[in-house]
Every structure is written in structure tokens, then in C-alpha cells.
Amino acid sequence: MLPSRKPKSNYFVPAYIIGLLTLVFTISGCSSSGPITMDLMNSPGIYSEVGIDPFDDNARIGESTELTVLYATNRAPVEEGSKSKERYYDNNRGSYLYLGEAKVKVGDDKTTWSDLKEYSLLKNSTKRFPLQVKEVHEFGILPTSYSRLEKRLSPEDDERPGKDFAAAINAQLKDSKLKDVVIYIHGFKVNFENPIIVTSELSHFHGNQGAFIAFAWPSTPKKNLAYFKDVETANHSARQLRLLIEYLHDYTDAEHINIIAYSMGTRIAIKTLHDLRLKYDYVEGEALRDASRIGQVFLVGSDFDRDIFSDYFEDGITDLQDQMNIYMSGEDSALGMARFLFGYNRLGQTASMNLDNKAVDYLKKRKDLVLIDVTSAEGATKGNGHAYFRQSPWVSSDIIITMFFKATPEKRKLIQNEQGIWSFRPEYIQDIKNAKEE
């Protein structure tokens, strides 16, 4: 008997169209306009299983269920009378970098600090705490982001927003155990409020230590072909990020400037770091790190061409910061579709990591570049395997331990394979417990 045949379709859909449509739905973030809510991520394992309490500094944290974060955005502000569905900043490119402060409400009016703290320290809690941006206060425009072709304000008005922004950062750092600034850079296809909410989560689970800034670049929600538009906008946004980093270096008390970049946001971070490295090409060694003050860089689920990164590596991009941590996965289907579209492996994939012995030996000697395969980490393959830095209690723990405690992969008890790539042992949580007691 012959196998049954499926009826022929009247239309032929090219494979690249199928790939594009799949990419749109697998990489997309929160694509709704107007007020959005996101549930607070699960507790990192170092809190829920190891027993570390990041909220012991009650004098600093207080008992508010409102989280405050700073932001910098090159989105165009929503003008009065505009037909935009967005509340604060639109999804189009702006001419400048706008600085401000946002407040995020956790839960509802009945939610108490005790409720929030209990959830934040429990594993797999069934409760849900929705996060929503409640208030945005804009300081104004970063003075260095003005174009020489643009009309300027008076010198006094020019300088005020930057000074207010720096003062807000320094006030947060003054009594903080972590004397660092942390910049979060989001992925594609989300509105302004998404990175504000995620940054507030990161700040919360770091015990509100340090000063956290959302870099809200103008990605494009609610458009099916947003991916390619956002690729170019990401490149366009790199200069604004560089100006922000340079301003933080010159005008704040931050000991280090750390960066957590996700998905397409890693394009912005990598291009910015490469530009800074070329700018300081004449500086070497510790003097270079002093010139940039960049500490830990985390590239998570990086949608960046691996070959181009190799070129940047030859230019010395990893010389700029204390350490660059690249989190990779063998089960990230979103990056699999990106590779299908572009035809080249993504930096955040572990696929085809066939390095020769010379390259492996060289990478093992480098302490400023750490490649971490998260495939075996708890919760890292949920959904399409792309959002693991929020979904995996091991990955979120690893980022916190690296940034807050400056722990090396060896101290975190990660294991390194013959290719020089680190990964999580099944006993990761027990390893952290043992390391804590040492």
C-alpha cells in the first residue's frame, strides 16, 4: 500500500518566509502598547535554596513595594495630543538621550513588603506579583547627546539634567555595598516600559544595592517585520550608549560600570565596547580599564554574528573591561532562527564551537573572556530557551554571584570542557552552599 498523500497546497511558501515568521514569534518580547504588566521573576537559587538574604539591609531597602530605577532612552517622547498608544516614550528614534527616574509598583494595593520578601526568598512559589510602571520623571537631555546641528538650550539648562542624573546615582551609591552602576540593555520588539520593569527586577534581586539604569533603545513592538528595523536601530543606538558610559565615568562615583545585555541588545553593547576600544587604542593594560571603568559585561542570548565578534576580539574588545561573560545555549530556538536567516552562527549559540587546540589554549589563558554554556542549568530550556536569564534560578544566581561577589568560574564551581567552555554541574546549588561555608 502506498503512503497517503497530503493534498497539495495552492501556494508555495519559500523557506525563508517561514523562517522569518517563526523568528517574529519566537524572539518577540512584550509587544503590547500602553500599560504593560509582567510577573516578578522567580527567586534566584542562591536565595531560595542556599539561604542568602539580600534584604538584610532594612535601613537601606525600607519596606516599600515600589521599586525605583533610573533610565536613559533615545526614544522620542510622546508629545501632548499625540495619537501614540504609548504613555511616556514612543517606539521611534529620538534625537537625543533622555534621562530620568521611574517607579515600578509590585503587586496590588494589598501587597506588603513582607509578602514581597517572602516570595523573593522562596523556590517555586505559586504566588504572582505583577509589576507595572506607575510613574516616570524625566530629568531632561544628556548634554553630550546634543548634535552640533541641533538648537541648544542655555548652557545652564543644558547641564542641569546630567547633573541631576549623576546626583541621583551618587545618592544610591553612597550607602550601598555595591559601589557600581549596572546598565541593562533589552532585546527587540518591546516598548519603553519593558526594560524599566526588568531593570527593577534586577535591582530588587541585588538587594537594591548599586545603581541600576535601564537603557531603553527604540525597539518596535506590534510590527511583524520589526526584527530588521530593530537591527539597524540597535546599531544606531550604540553611540548614545557610549555617551552615557563616558558621562557616568566622568561625573559619578561609580567604581565600575557593569552591563547586562540581552538578545539584540547585545549588538548595542558589543558595538559600543568596540568603538570605545578603538577610541582608546593608544592605552593599554590597567590604564585602559581605568580609562573606561567598565567592570563586568554579561552578554546573554546574544544575537550577534560570531565571526564579527571574532574580528572585534582581535581588535582587543575584551581588554576594555575586567571580564566579559558570554552566556550561551544549545537549546535557544530563537537564535537558531536568527542563524537560519543570516546564515551565520550567533554568539549566544553553542552550535559549531569547534575550536582548534591553539585557540582553546589561548582562551583558557584569558581571564577576561568567560564562555558559559547554560544548557544544563535548571530552567534554562523553558519555552524557546531564549529568556533563561529570568527563567533559570541558576543563571540569575550566577550573574548575581559574579557581579556582587566578584566570584570567578572556579569559585562558582563551574566546570570547563576541552573547548574552554564553562558549564553548570548538576550539583551547582550544593556547590554554592559549600563555597559559602568555606
Walk me through the domains of the chain, giving residue ranges and CATH numbers.
38-437 (3.40.50.1820)
Residue 149: the pLDDT is 64
Distance CA 36, CA 66 (A): 16
Q: CA 431 → CA 92, 293, 395, distances in Å?
A: 46, 31, 14
Number of H helices, E strands in the chain: 15, 12
CA 34 to chain centre: 22
Average pLDDT over residues 338-354: 87
Residue 364: the pLDDT is 78
Contacts 24+ apart (CB under 8 A), 89-93: 89/192, 89/216, 89/218, 90/218, 91/191, 91/192, 91/218, 91/219, 91/220, 91/221, 92/218, 93/218, 93/233, 93/236
Give the tens place of pLDDT for each residue, 90-131: 999 998 999 999 999 999 989 999 999 999 999 988 889 999
Q: Mean pLDDT, the chain, as a whole number?
A: 87
User: Helix crossing, 428-437 with 393-405: angle to 10°?
Assistant: 30
Give the tens place of pLDDT for each residue, 357-404: 777 787 777 788 999 999 999 999 999 999 999 999 999 999 999 998
Copy the grid coordinates of residue 105: 509598583
Task: Select the more confidently predicted residue: 60 or 143.
Answer: 143
**Which band of pLDDT confidence, cut at 50, 70 and 90, is reported for residue 424?**
very high
Which value, in Å, is the radius of gyration of the alpha carbons in the chain?
A: 22
Copy the grid coordinates of residue 55: 534584604
Question: Which residues have a Cβ under 8 Å from the Cβ of 419 and sit 6 or more positions away?
Answer: 353, 354, 355, 360
Average pLDDT over residues 132-145: 95
Residue 57: the pLDDT is 66
| pLDDT at residue 2 tops 60 | no
Average pLDDT over residues 61-77: 89
Residue 170: the pLDDT is 97
**Which band of pLDDT confidence, cut at 50, 70 and 90, is reported for residue 1?**
very low
pTM: 0.91
Average pLDDT over residues 122-148: 90
Residue 97: the pLDDT is 96
| pLDDT at residue 30 tops 50 | no
Task: Select the more confidently predicted residue: 227 or 271.
Answer: 271
Distance CA 231, CA 349 (A): 18
Backbone phi, psi, residue 374, to 5°: -95, 5
How many CB atoms within 10 Å of residue 288? 19
Residue 35: the pLDDT is 72
| pLDDT at residue 438 tops 90 | no
| pLDDT at residue 147 tops 70 | yes
